[in-house]
Amino acid sequence: MIQDAPLSGVDLPVPLLVKMAREIEMVKLFKIECPQAANKLRALIAEGDDAIEGPFDGEEAITLLADLDAGATGSMTSGMIVDRIKPVIDHYLAGDTDAATDAYARVLPVINHENRQCGWRACKAAMKEGGVIASDTCRHPIEPLHPETRTRLISLLQAIDPLVLRWGR
């Protein structure tokens, strides 16, 4: 699995990713997290052909539909609402794009809030709320979520009733 996340400061151009897929036996899966990820996925799939076994969406699924349109076969989101994202992918891959779009519209406010306001702290907050973990404290220097940001997150989650809010209870 290669995670293409330019936030790391490392640029992984498509020709390099394809070369890795063809020359490194265990490299077959790619999580693409960059601006215009759909375009990069299209290029990766076109240039890599059979060497690309798992082109995946990333970044909490903020661009999931566009990435599926580009040929992504799955998504690697946070662990917060996987039970609500899975139907989007299942419907899409079954050819029911209307149902996929409807399912995505239901979860998009949560995805947007997680992606733009919380980052990975959202998953910890949701797991604490659902009794899965005792503390959502992050290691220094990561600050806790602002209480109002956390409150909004939990209210958005409650509206879609994900497993994470019931799992540990």
Residue with token string 């139907």: 87
Q: Which is the catalytic residue, given 28, 31, 40, 86? A: 31
Cα distance between residue 70 and residue 155, in whole Å: 32
Residues 14/47, Cβ–Cβ less than 8 Å: yes
Which residues have C-beta within 8 Å of that of residue 82, sequence separation ≥ 6?
none
| DSSP per-residue letters across 129-157 | HTTS-S-----TTPPPPPHHHHHHHHHHH
DSSP H helices, the chain, are: 14-23, 37-48, 64-69, 82-93, 97-113, 121-129, 147-160
Cα separation, 75 vs 59, whole angstroms: 9
Catalytic site includes residue 19: no
Active site amino acids: 31
